[in-house]
């Protein structure tokens, strides 16, 4: 192939067009000529600029790309061109090679046209004068260290489009960057992608297909990173992803997240608010929020089955913990039948998976609150308003039951301090007694005020000659209802509720 199409490396002297403009038509340029070139125009027939063609052309201040056939700018093609101040990549170019414009220390303006697909490793690394760049919609991949060491790169705009991969170290050392929005098309952000981005104050992950956030070294922005916006679609926040981000004050974990890795938010000393959107979260890893000293309350979602050791250790202001998994954490037999005695109200086996003795160590907790099961809440919600308000009034009078602002009923269990940690239990059965009373109240109101007629089961009875009527219902007067309840064994269970009705 000739140099115009294939990158033939035979030396070929560029033609001088006047006014110090050289026409490049392919091939290599002699070392002697490189120091003389100040302006160059790329010929319209050139498809490929071979690797190192203009490398270290220290006086090259201007490159003109004609609208033509150029598709690839090879590795190191313009590396070290310190006089180059701006460059416009034409839409015909689909790939910028490794270090294509690396170490162009005065390159302040780069315009990338739609059509470009791949920005290879270190393509613009160490361009210390570059202040702003827009990644066009056509780009699918940013290579390793693509903009590494661009210390004055303050603004990076990703046009929503095809970008899938932001490589390892892609923006490592971009010390002026203040905010970034990761587009929804991105599926992978490499390790250390934002290392030493010390002024980064806001990171936004647009709703999309990104499933894993790894260790992007956002902790290097710990003094400035105050806002992190995580989008639905994210599944895993890996180990140390946001650790030591000391300016972070609040974060919402979307419903799609299934796992928080070890130390995910460890040492975020000003993280005061963590909102878990009810959804898929199952695992909160070891040390996940260790040292989050500003956190004052947390509600653990109902699907969480494991909370790692020291997950909330040294959260010295964490005074309120709510566990929303009442279906699993409260004794099902107790809730179904009102059991008393040694069986109690807690499902000890499930609790051990959520509370190691040092999970909440050094937290000023006096109680841990567990939501009552959804089924019980729904029974209460179905009651007539007057009955519901009556029960809510009684709940406020019962020991260790609490009615949250959203109407959720919480069972409160006292915290017991142990050597090296803490746990919680209902040692005196007071919480169990109050839950038992709540069950009685709901059951009594259901029977007393239900608009559904009590059915008498007519075993083997037949109506309408020899045909059985499965839909037979007989209205029972109130006095008879009480007799039926007593005969069926409800009266002893409901007696305290009836007395206070």
Residue 394 covered by a domain? yes
Predicted pLDDT of residue 177: 96
Residue 309 covered by a domain? no
Residue 68 covered by a domain? no
Nearest-CA neighbor of 118 among 101, 93, 94, 147?
Answer: 94
- Does residue 357 sit in the same domain as residue 439? yes
Tens digit of each residue's pLDDT (9 = 90 or more) over 143-197: 999 999 999 999 999 999 999 999 999 999 999 999 999 999 998 898 899 999 9
- Does residue 484 sit in the same domain as residue 419? no
68 vs 229 pLDDT, higher one: 229
Predicted pLDDT of residue 20: 75
Tens digit of each residue's pLDDT (9 = 90 or more) over 437-448: 898 888 888 776
Predicted pLDDT of residue 463: 42
Residue 89 covered by a domain? no
Tens digit of each residue's pLDDT (9 = 90 or more) over 307-335: 999 999 999 999 999 999 888 898 877 76
- C-alpha span between 4 and 42 (Å, rounded): 11
User: Out of 58-67, 180-189, 289-298, 437-446, which region has the weakest mean confidence (pLDDT)?
Assistant: 437-446
SS3 (DSSP) at 234: strand
Q: How many helices (H) and strands (E) does the chain have?
A: 10, 31
- Does residue 351 sit in the same domain as residue 436? yes
- Does residue 396 sit in the same domain as residue 485? no
Residue 6 has pLDDT above 50, yes or no: no
Nearest-CA neighbor of 92 among 123, 70, 110?
Answer: 70
- Does residue 439 sit in the same domain as residue 490? no
Average pLDDT on 92-100 reads 98
Tens digit of each residue's pLDDT (9 = 90 or more) over 205-224: 888 778 888 777 777 777 78
- Does residue 444 sit in the same domain as residue 359? yes
Residue 117 covered by a domain? no
Q: Predicted confidence band at 458 (pLDDT cuts at 50, 70, 90)?
A: very low
Q: Predicted confidence band at 203 (pLDDT cuts at 50, 70, 90)?
A: very high
Q: Predicted confidence band at 457 (pLDDT cuts at 50, 70, 90)?
A: very low
Predicted pLDDT of residue 279: 93
User: Out of 57-61, 353-357, 455-459, which region has the weakest mean confidence (pLDDT)?
Assistant: 455-459
End-to-end CA distance of the chain: 96
- Does residue 369 sit in the same domain as residue 428? yes
- Does residue 358 sit in the same domain as residue 421? yes
Predicted pLDDT of residue 343: 57
Nearest-CA neighbor of 217 among 238, 191, 235?
Answer: 191
- Does residue 352 sit in the same domain as residue 445? yes
List, as one string, the DSSP characters of 404-449.
-TTS-EEEEEEEEEETTEEEE--TTSHHHHHHHHHHHHHHHHHHHH
Predicted pLDDT of residue 451: 42
- Does residue 356 sit in the same domain as residue 396? yes
What's the Cα-to-Cα distance from 10 to each of 2, 29, 283, 319, rounded to whole Å?
10, 8, 61, 75
Residue 267 covered by a domain? no
Predicted pLDDT of residue 224: 85
Count how many domains the chain has. Answer: 2
What's the Cα-to-Cα distance from 150 to each of 55, 116, 478, rounded to whole Å?
19, 21, 82
User: Out of 195-209, 323-337, 344-358, which region has the weakest mean confidence (pLDDT)?
Assistant: 323-337
Tens digit of each residue's pLDDT (9 = 90 or more) over 115-144: 999 999 999 999 999 999 999 999 999 999
Residue 211 covered by a domain? no
- Does residue 491 sit in the same domain as residue 401? no
- C-alpha span between 323 and 335 (Å, rounded): 17
Which residue range is the domain that position 363 belongs to? Answer: 347-449
Task: Take residue 309 and report the two structure tokens written for it.
Answer: 């050791």
The DSSP secondary-structure symbol of 330 reads B
Q: What is the mean pLDDT of the chain?
A: 85
SS3 (DSSP) at 495: helix
Residue 11 has pLDDT above 60, yes or no: no
- Does residue 418 sit in the same domain as residue 480? no
**Taking a C-beta distance cutoff of 8 angstroms, is the pair 6, 46 a contact?**
no
417 vs 411 pLDDT, higher one: 411
Residue 379 covered by a domain? yes
Task: Take residue 159 and report the two structure tokens written for it.
Answer: 């046009």
Tens digit of each residue's pLDDT (9 = 90 or more) over 237-253: 999 989 998 999 999 99
Residue 465 has pLDDT above 60, yes or no: no
């Amino acid at each position: 192939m000739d140099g115009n199409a294939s990158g033939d490396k035979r030396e070929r002297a560029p033609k001088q067009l006047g006014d110090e403009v050289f026409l490049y038509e392919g091939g290599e340029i002699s070392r002697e000529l490189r120091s003389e070139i100040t302006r160059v125009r790329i010929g319209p027939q050139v498809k490929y600029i071979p690797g190192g063609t203009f490398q270290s052309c220290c006086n090259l201040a201007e490159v003109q790309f004609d609208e033509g056939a150029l598709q690839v700018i090879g590795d190191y093609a313009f590396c070290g061109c310190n006089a180059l101040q701006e460059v416009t990549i034409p839409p015909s170019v689909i790939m910028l090679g490794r270090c294509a414009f690396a170490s162009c220390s005065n390159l302040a303006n780069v315009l990338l046209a739609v059509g470009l697909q791949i920005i290879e490793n270190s393509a613009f690394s160490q361009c210390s004068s570059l202040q702003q760049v827009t990644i066009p919609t056509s780009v699918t991949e940013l290579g390793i260290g693509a903009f590494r060491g661009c210390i004055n790169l303050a603004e990076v705009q990703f046009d929503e489009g095809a970008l899938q991969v932001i490589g390892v170290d892609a923006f490592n050392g971009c010390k002026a960057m203040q905010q970034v929005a990761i587009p929804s098309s991105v599926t992978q952000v490499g390790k250390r992608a934002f290392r030493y981005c010390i002024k980064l104050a806001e990171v936004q992950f647009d709703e999309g297909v990104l499933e894993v956030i790894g260790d992007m070294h956002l902790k290097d922005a710990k003094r400035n990173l105050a806002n992190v916006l995580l989008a639905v679609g994210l599944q895993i926040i890996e180990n140390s992803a946001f650790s030591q981000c000391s300016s972070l004050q609040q974060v919402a974990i979307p419903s799609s997240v299934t796992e928080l890795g070890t130390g995910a938010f460890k040492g975020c000393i000003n993280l005061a608010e963590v909102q878990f959107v009810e959804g898929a979260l199952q695992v909160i890893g070891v040390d996940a929020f260790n040292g989050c000293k500003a956190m004052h309350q947390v509600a653990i979602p109902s699907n969480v089955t494991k909370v790692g050791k020291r997950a909330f250790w040294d959260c010295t202001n964490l005074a309120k913990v709510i566990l929303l998994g009442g279906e699993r954490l409260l004794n099902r037999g107790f809730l179904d039948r009102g059991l008393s005695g040694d069986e109690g109200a807690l499902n000890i086996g499930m609790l051990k998976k959520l509370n190691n003795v040092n999970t909440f160590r050094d937290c000023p907790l006096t109680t841990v609150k567990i939501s009552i099961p959804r089924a019980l809440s729904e029974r209460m919600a179905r009651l007539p308003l007057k009955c519901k308000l009556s029960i809510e009034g009684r709940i406020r009078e019962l020991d260790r039951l609490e009615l949250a602002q959203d109407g959720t009923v919480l069972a409160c269990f006292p915290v017991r301090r142990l050597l090296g940690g803490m746990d919680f239990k209902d040692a005196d059965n007071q919480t169990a007694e109050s839950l038992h009373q709540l069950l009685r109240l709901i059951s009594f109101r259901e029977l007393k005020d239900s608009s559904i007629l009590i059915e008498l089961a007519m075993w083997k009875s037949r109506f309408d000659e020899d045909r059985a009527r499965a839909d037979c219902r007989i209205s029972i007067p109130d006095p008879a209802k009480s007799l039926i309840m007593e005969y069926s064994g409800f009266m002893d269970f409901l007696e305290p509720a009836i007395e206070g009705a």
